[in-house]
Structure 1
Amino acid sequence: MRIKVCGMKEAENIRELLDLQPDYLGFIFFEKSPRYVGESFDPEIIREIPRSVRKVGVFVNASIDQVIRTVKKYALDYVQLHGEETPDFCRSLQFKGVNIIKAFRVDDTFNFSQLNNYKPVCDYFLFDTKASQYGGTGIAFDWALLERYDNEKPFFLSGGIGPEDAEVILDLKERTGLKIHAVDINSKFEIEPGLKDIALVRDFIERLKAEEIEA
C-alpha cells in the first residue's frame, strides 16, 4: 500500500521525510489552510524531489488557470481537488494533461452514486472526513461507509489517520477487498501545522509495510 504525506511546506522537513521514501508528497495551495505553502515557496524545493516520489498540489475551488500555472511552476505530478469542483472542471484539466485526484468529504449521508460522473475524468478518488474546514481535521469518518462504494476506481484513504491505524487499515482492505491505493496522512503526524514528526511517520510506514509482508 502506498503512502501520501500531505501538508508539507518546510524545506528541511521535506528533505528528512524523503529518506523514508514516501510514494506521494502533498503541498497545499489553499490560502486558508494553516499548511498553505505561501506565495514565496521556492519551486526548487519541489523540483528537487526525486521522480520516484509523486508531487501533489492540493487546491480548493481554484480557477483552472491558477491550477495550470501552479502545475507548471512546481512541476506537479497530480492535482488534488478538495472543493466543489464539477466533473466538467475535472474534464477541462484532464484535457490539458493534468492528472487528477478528486477528494470527497464523507459522512453517513454521503451519496456514492454522485461519483459516477467523475470516474471518466479522474485518476483517483480520495475519501476524507466531512467537516466545516477542508482537510487536516484530525478526525476520522466511519470507514465502514466505504462498503457502500462500488469499488471501481482506486482511492486514497484520508481523514484523521493516526500512527496507531496501520493494522486497522490493512485489515479493512483485506476484509472488504476495497481498492485502497494509498493512505493519506497529515495532522496526526505533526509537531505543528506543516511540520511532520519524522519518527512518527517512519514508525507508521514500517508498521504498514511489516503488516503487509506478514499478510
Structure 2
Amino acid sequence: MKLKICGMKYPENMLEVGALLPDYMGFIFWEKSARYFDGIIPELPKSIKKTGVFVDAPLEEILEKIQKHDLQAVQLHGHESVEFCETLKKNMPKLIEVIKVFSILDTFDFAALKPFESVCDYFLFDTKGKLPGGNGTTFDWKVLQQYPSSKPFFLSGGIGIDEMEAVNEILKTNLPVYAIDVNSKLEIEPGLKNINFVKTIRELSQQL
C-alpha cells in the first residue's frame, strides 16, 4: 500500500516527514488553501515522488511548477476537462504521473470516469466539501463498491490513524486501491504534520 502525505508547507517538517519515506509528498499550489506552498522544496529522498496539487490552474503554471520543483506527479483537483488532461500529458516530461481527483459525498456517477481513463495514470477519490480537499471528513466508502474500472486509485478524505482499520477492510475487496492520501488528520496546524502521527500511519500502511 502506497502512502501519500499531502499539504506539506514547512521545509523542516518536509525533511522530518521525508525521513520516514512516504511514497508521495504533496505540495498545494492553490493560493486559497491554508496549506498553500510558495517556497523551495528541500532535497528529499529520491524514492519520494514530489506531487504538485493544482485547482483549475493554467497549463503554463503547471508546467512551470513541474520544472521549478522537479515534480514527479501532478494532482488535478479542480474541474479539469478530458481535453485539458490530454494536452497536459502531451506537453509534460514523459515520466510525470497525472492523478485526477473526483469528489464524492453519498453518491457518484462512475460513468464520468471513463473518458479520463486514457489521459491520467490514477484517479483519486476525495470527500466533497466546502474546499477542494483538506476538509477532514470521510465519504461513504460503500459507494466505491460500484467502481467499474480496473484503473488504480488513491483513497483520500479524512483518513487518519483511526480510519486505518476501515482502509484494511476495503483492501480485502477486489477494488484496485493503489495508495492512501492523508493530510489534515495528521496535523498540528494546517500544513504542519505531527511527526508521531505520520510515523504511526507509515507503519500501519506498511502492514497493509
Question: What displacement does 1:165 show?
Answer: 1.6
Tell me if structure 2 keeps the 8 A contact 1:167–1:208: no
Which residue in 2 is equivalent to 1:75? 70
CA distance in 2, matches of 1:183, 1:42: 25
CA distance in 2, matches of 1:87, 1:132: 24
Residue identity (%): 47
RMSD: 1.0
Which residue in 2 is equivalent to 1:146? 144
Matches within 5 A, 1:1-215: 1-38=1-38, 41-43=39-41, 45=42, 48-97=43-92, 98-174=96-172, 176-210=173-207, 212=208
Runs of 4+ that moved beyond 4 A: none
Flag structure 1 segments of 5+ consecutive residues without an equivalent: none
Question: What displacement does 1:162 show?
Answer: 1.3
Tell me if structure 2 keeps the 8 A contact 1:6–1:186: yes
CA distance in 1, matches of 2:15, 2:115: 38
Aligned partner of 1:12: which letter? Answer: E
Flag structure 2 segments of 5+ consecutive residues without an equivalent: none
CA distance in 1, matches of 2:62, 2:9: 18
CA distance in 2, matches of 1:202, 1:96: 37
SS at match of 2:27: strand
SS at match of 2:88: helix
SS at match of 2:166: helix
Tell me if structure 2 keeps the 8 A contact 1:155–1:182: yes
SS at match of 2:201: helix
**TM-superposition CA deviations, 1:90-119 (whole Å, max 9, x none):** 000111134210000012232110000000
Tell me if structure 1 keeps the 8 A contact 2:99–2:122: yes
TM-score when scaled to structure 2? Answer: 0.95
SS at match of 2:4: strand
**TM-superposition CA deviations, 1:171-213 (whole Å, max 9, x none):** 1111x21111000000000000000001011111212323x3x
Tell me if structure 2 keeps the 8 A contact 1:3–1:182: yes
Tell me if structure 1 keeps the 8 A contact 2:159–2:185: yes
Aligned partner of 2:146: which letter? Answer: R
**TM-superposition CA deviations, 1:62-106 (whole Å, max 9, x none):** 000111011111100011000000000000011113421000001
SS at match of 1:177: coil
TM-score when scaled to structure 1? Answer: 0.92
Number of aligned positions between the proteins: 205
**TM-superposition CA deviations, 1:143-169 (whole Å, max 9, x none):** 110111113100000000011122210
Which has a greater percent of helix? Answer: 1
Aligned partner of 1:181: which letter? Answer: Y
CA distance in 2, matches of 1:99, 1:123: 6
Tell me if structure 2 keeps the 8 A contact 1:28–1:35: yes
